[in-house]
Amino acid sequence: MPDLLDSAVKQLRDGHLVAIPTETVYGLAADAKNILAVNQVFAAKGRPSGHPLIVHIANPTLPTMSSFESQNAWQEVLLNWSRDVSPQALALAQAFWPGPLTIILPKAKSVLLEVTGGQETVGVRCPNHPLTQQLLKLFDSALVAPSANRFGRISPTTADHVRDEFPDGSILILDGGACDVGIESTIVDLSRWDSHGAVILRPGAISKAMIDEVLRNLNPGESLQPLKQGDASQPRVSGSLSAHYAPRTKLVLYDPNDVKSMNLTNCSGKRVAWAHFENTINIDFSSSSHLDEIVLPGASHELAKCLYATLRSLDQLSVDIIYFEKIPDSEQWDAVRDRLGRASVGSGA
């Protein structure tokens, strides 16, 4: 593995792309300070140029550091990317990094507009994967690393998924095993703190309640503005389009309490895949020519971890339509519900 890491560092320094593992999904990494390398990411993915990238940084802290030393270490690193590193940003970094949280901050002057999608804000996160942390420290700079898949399609959570996306072998892939979290990071916007407070722009494993607790503990005597959904003035961020994470097979989300609305006549003579939770209402797919059935994990974190692998497997069954049971309407399911909603909108194309 040391030789492979050295090769990856050389590839990145030469302006090439490397697929890297993180705890969320595999990323297609490039030198965040190299405009030609950054543009290669957009070209390889077929990604619109106005869709911003997230900057991935190495963990500057050590277990032996005091809280004060740790905060100073985060501030020093973040000042390379943001012109204003607030106490709120430092508190969230100390609480959740390395981990699946992206923080939106006012960008530093030196940050490439190609990275930010032309905006004056930048998203930064510190991934929690030992192999990628080693790479970042050896590279001694930051990487942009959107999901290593064609734009709008299902994100990869294994090295084999990346190979399926880029089968020509032109991209070096660091195999770090299956991703532990399985869906993209939570994105929280702190760039408009004075007017909007903290705003979650994309749900993930770090929940609203977890972020809110840290921010309230930072200012126990103050009534903090609540975390809330974004508005028209919010920064554009990764994974925010209505159609995203999409299988090529048509994906239909259904309510098990309203089976009549599924219009099962559409299944007549067709190959159908049915993904559902255990003990759900049984559905009669007898009019279909073939049925593949998958029982989903009942815990949100378990389904999140296998969600994209499940969608990829369903997409490879050569079925005509996928019926997927709707996700429970509660905060713990927000991230999975978000990904499946966008996958449904973009599916079948």
pLDDT tens-digit map of 145-170: 999 999 999 999 999 999 999 999 99
| Number of folded domains that form the chain | 2
**214: domain range?**
2-218
Q: Are residues 47 and 144 in the same domain?
A: yes
Residue 233 in any domain: the answer is no
Q: What is the CATH number of the domain that holds 48?
A: 3.90.870.10
Q: Are residues 182 and 254 in the same domain?
A: no
Residue 283 in any domain: the answer is yes
Residue 25 in any domain: the answer is yes
The average pLDDT across 11-23 equals: 98
Q: What is the CATH number of the domain that holds 280?
A: 3.40.50.11030
Residue 237 in any domain: the answer is no
Q: Are residues 128 and 272 in the same domain?
A: no
Residue 62 in any domain: the answer is yes
324 has a pLDDT exceeding 80: yes
**Can you say which residues are annotated as belonging to the binding site?**
24, 47, 56, 121, 125, 145, 147, 155, 185, 202, 245
**Can you say which residues are annotated as belonging to the binding site for L-threonine?**
24, 56, 125, 145, 185
Q: Are residues 34 and 151 in the same domain?
A: yes
242 has a pLDDT exceeding 90: no
Residue 116 in any domain: the answer is yes
Q: Are residues 24 and 71 in the same domain?
A: yes
CA distance 321 to 280: 19
| Domain-terminating residue out of 218, 238, 258 | 218
- For 115-167, the DSSP string reads HHTT-SEEEEE----HHHHHHHHHHTS-EE--BSSSTTBPPP-SHHHHHHHST
Per-residue model confidence as pLDDT tens digits over 200-237? 999 999 999 999 999 988 877 665 565 565 566 788 88
Q: What pLDDT does residue 221 have?
A: 64
Q: Are residues 258 and 212 in the same domain?
A: no
Residue 69 in any domain: the answer is yes
Q: Are residues 53 and 196 in the same domain?
A: yes
Residue 225 in any domain: the answer is no
**Can you say which residues are annotated as belonging to the binding site for ATP?**
47, 121, 147, 155, 202, 245
- As a three-state string, the secondary structure of 177-196 is CCCCCCCCCEEEECCCHHHH
261 has a pLDDT exceeding 90: no
Q: What pLDDT does residue 224 have?
A: 58
| Domain-terminating residue out of 171, 197, 218 | 218
Q: How many CB atoms lie within 10 A of CB 73?
A: 18
Q: What is the reported pTM? A: 0.95
Q: Are residues 90 and 200 in the same domain?
A: yes
Vertex 184: Cα angle to 171 and 279 (nearest 5):
120
Q: Are residues 12 and 152 in the same domain?
A: yes
Q: What pLDDT does residue 226 have?
A: 59
In what helix (H) or strand (E) does residue 276 lie, and over which residues does it extend?
Answer: strand 271-277
Q: Are residues 50 and 113 in the same domain?
A: yes
CA distance 349 to 338: 19
If pLDDT is split at 50, 70 and 90, which confidence band does 262 have? confident
